[in-house]
Chains A and B, each alone.
Chain A
Amino acid sequence: MIIQILSNFCDEGYLEKERYNFTSPFFAGANVAFRRGVFEQLGLYDERCATGEDHDICLRAAGAGWDLYFQPKALVRHNNKGKLRRFIRRWFYYGFKHPYVYKKHTPKALQVYLVNRGAGQGYLYSCVLNIKKSPLHLVIFITPFLTMHIFLILTIVTALLGLNITTWMFGSVTVLAGLAYLKSDVDLKHPLQSIVFAGLRYTANMALLVGGLLGSLRLGMLYISGTLDYKG
């Protein structure tokens, strides 16, 4: 999934050892190569992964002790012709199908992830809470997008209840989280483009979030997805 695909802050070389966890970086299926022995040892792609099959096989290979090597000089260019409806459907679908991959690799637990701003080697999120014996299977990626919505709901609820001071407090947090969320879209030289980008990213993130919620409920768990952010 987008949140873990290796990005441009990763230099050539081996991905970290001890990386066998769900938020580890992986290689997108559009540009990846395997030694034959990997398939001979692990079997083929998991055909139950409607998307995320690339994530799954990288996790399995790493878990079996194979090294994963990032070679940025092996460059592939992607042609992404887009229509808006297809764009929304695609992000919904990523969200909807991804909890399967998560569930397959993570035993029942309550996990909370935070954005890792000091990301090295492609790690975008750090696990800050991991309760292994949880009655619920729940995973939450805490992002400005999620924070903004939670505080927006709290603001509306407290306003309806007539709690003025609390409403102002929650409202302020909502605005701050909103600004943090929009920060990556703002380009003062291109104001109109900034607004369109913010709108598109918001749409993609909402589709991802809703898709993840619905897809995970079908599997008897709750998955609050990470978001799509510009990584500089």
Chain B
Amino acid sequence: MTKDSLSISVVIVTLDRAESVRDVLDCLVRQTRQPDEVIVVDNGSKDNTKEVVSSFDGRLNIKYVYEEARGIPFARNAGVRNATGDIIAFIDDDCIADENWLKYIEIPFIRDPNVGVVGGDLSYLEKGESILEKFHKRYMR
């Protein structure tokens, strides 16, 4: 059975990158298809990540989760356990999503109930000017 609409939880795993978490959350506020829930999993930050997350109360349905066990899979799992959406979408804490990101992520899930995983494209932020950043832009995605 296919549903006309699904609920989406976005999970962001982070460690000591409060300012870049602010950028990710800003880009979620700007989504044309708003997330139904945003979960920030803090994997042990010593900076003001928690305050940055709280500052988005009211603009996003946002939840701060602290995960003590260090490591990406532990933190991602904490996100999944706290998510209530039909779809659980991951974005990293040093990324910016295009404003139609969630709109396009949702389409294949609605169209076909056997679609379990949807992956989007990755590219590099244009501001990269150091030689290492240029290198990443050329060789990696």
Q: Which residue of A lies closest to B116 (CB)?
A: A66
Please tell me if B60 contacts chain A, counting CB pairs below 8 Å: no
* Residue pair B95, A77 in contact (C-beta under 8 Å): yes
Interface segment among A46-54, A107-115, A148-156, A170-178: the answer is A46-54
Q: Known interface pairs A30-B95, A78-B95. Does A69 touch B119 (Cβ–Cβ under 8 Å)? A: yes
Contact with A along B74-108 (1 / 0, CB 8 A): 10110011010111111110111110111011011
Q: Closest Cβ of chain B: how far from A229's Cβ, in Å? A: 8
- Which chain A residues in 49-85 approach chain B with CB under 8 Å? 49-51, 53, 57-58, 61, 64-84
- Which chain A residues in 1-33 approach chain B with CB under 8 Å? 2, 5-8, 26-33
Partner of A78, one of B108, B115, B123: B123
Complex contacts, A64 vs chain B, CB 8 Å: 116
Please tell me if A197 contacts chain B, counting CB pairs below 8 Å: yes
Complex contacts, A49 vs chain B, CB 8 Å: 73
State the main secondary structure of chain B at its contact with A: mixed
* Residue pair B80, A76 in contact (C-beta under 8 Å): no
Please tell me if B57 contacts chain A, counting CB pairs below 8 Å: no
- Compute how far the CA of A46 lies from the CA of B124 in the bound complex, rounded to whole angstroms: 28
Complex contacts, B120 vs chain A, CB 8 Å: 27, 31-33, 71-76
State the main secondary structure of chain A at its contact with B: mixed
Complex contacts, A166 vs chain B, CB 8 Å: none
Contact with B along A195-232 (1 / 0, CB 8 A): 01100110000000000000000000000000011100
* Residue pair A68, B121 in contact (C-beta under 8 Å): no
* Residue pair B86, A36 in contact (C-beta under 8 Å): yes
- Compute how far the CA of A193 lies from the CA of B137 in the bound complex, rounded to whole angstroms: 13
Q: Known interface pairs A30-B122, A228-B140. Does A58 touch B117 (Cβ–Cβ under 8 Å)? A: yes
Complex contacts, A71 vs chain B, CB 8 Å: 104-105, 107-108, 118-121
Interface residue ranges, A against B (CB under 8 Å)? 2, 5-8, 26-39, 44-51, 53, 57-58, 61, 64-84, 87, 193, 196-197, 200-201, 228-230
Could you list 17 examples of A-B contacts with CB < 8 Å?
A27-B117, A27-B120, A31-B97, A33-B90, A35-B117, A39-B80, A46-B73, A47-B71, A58-B117, A73-B104, A74-B121, A76-B101, A82-B136, A83-B132, A193-B131, A200-B132, A228-B139
